[in-house]
Amino acid sequence: MAISAAAYTLTVVLCICSLQLLVAGAGPETLKLTFYAHETRGGPNATLLPAAGTGQGNFSALGWGSFMVFDNRLKEGAAADSKLLGRITGSGALTTIGGLPTGGVQVTSKFWFGEGSKYPGSSFTLVGTLSYGPAPWELIVIGGTGYFRGFSGYGLSAPENSTTVPPLFVYKWNFHLTKHF
């Protein structure tokens, strides 16, 4: 009988603590972040390289099976002289037979934050398809390191056409992240 009373008391105490957390508004931590990817296609300072498959070195000839690698700049704003926050590294492949017009580039990338950011030494990884269809494109943030440990969510990306002067291409990223533990 004493064990049952102790179990009952513990259950009541845990319920009260849980209710207090709910009333206090304790919930998962959320972040809404905006960054800009600065990508250079071509020239001696290229940050995107068609590495294998059709159209090596020629973006207009890329087709199904083409593989690209990138090491783009992560910046605070769309302007070329905006503050450098880190890098976006990764790879992508054209995974549809019709190439870009029928699908997009399946990417895996890591957003690395450097000394110029609020999150130095931290990163998060995303996967998904960057399409050449209507923007914004939605990719999944699968997790992170450092400050972003325990976060996941999604990122929306769209070209920032007003500031793009080839070979520089700028993409705005809006991230919605939730910490789960």
pLDDT mean across residues, the chain: 84
**Residue 76 pLDDT exceeds 90:** yes
Total-model pTM: 0.80
**Residue 17 pLDDT exceeds 50:** no
Q: Count other Cβ atoms within 10 Å, centred on residue 85.
A: 23
More confident of the two residues 55 and 18: 55
Residue 99's pLDDT is 73
Find the largest Cα–Cα distance for the chain: 80
What secondary structure letter does DSSP report for 83?
P
Residue 161's pLDDT is 76
The structural domains of the chain, ordered by start, are 30-179 (2.40.480.10)
Phi, psi (5° rounding) for residue 161? Answer: -60, -30
Q: Please report, to the nearest 10 degrees, the dihedral formed by the alpha carbons of residues 137, 140, 144, 149 taken in order.
A: 120
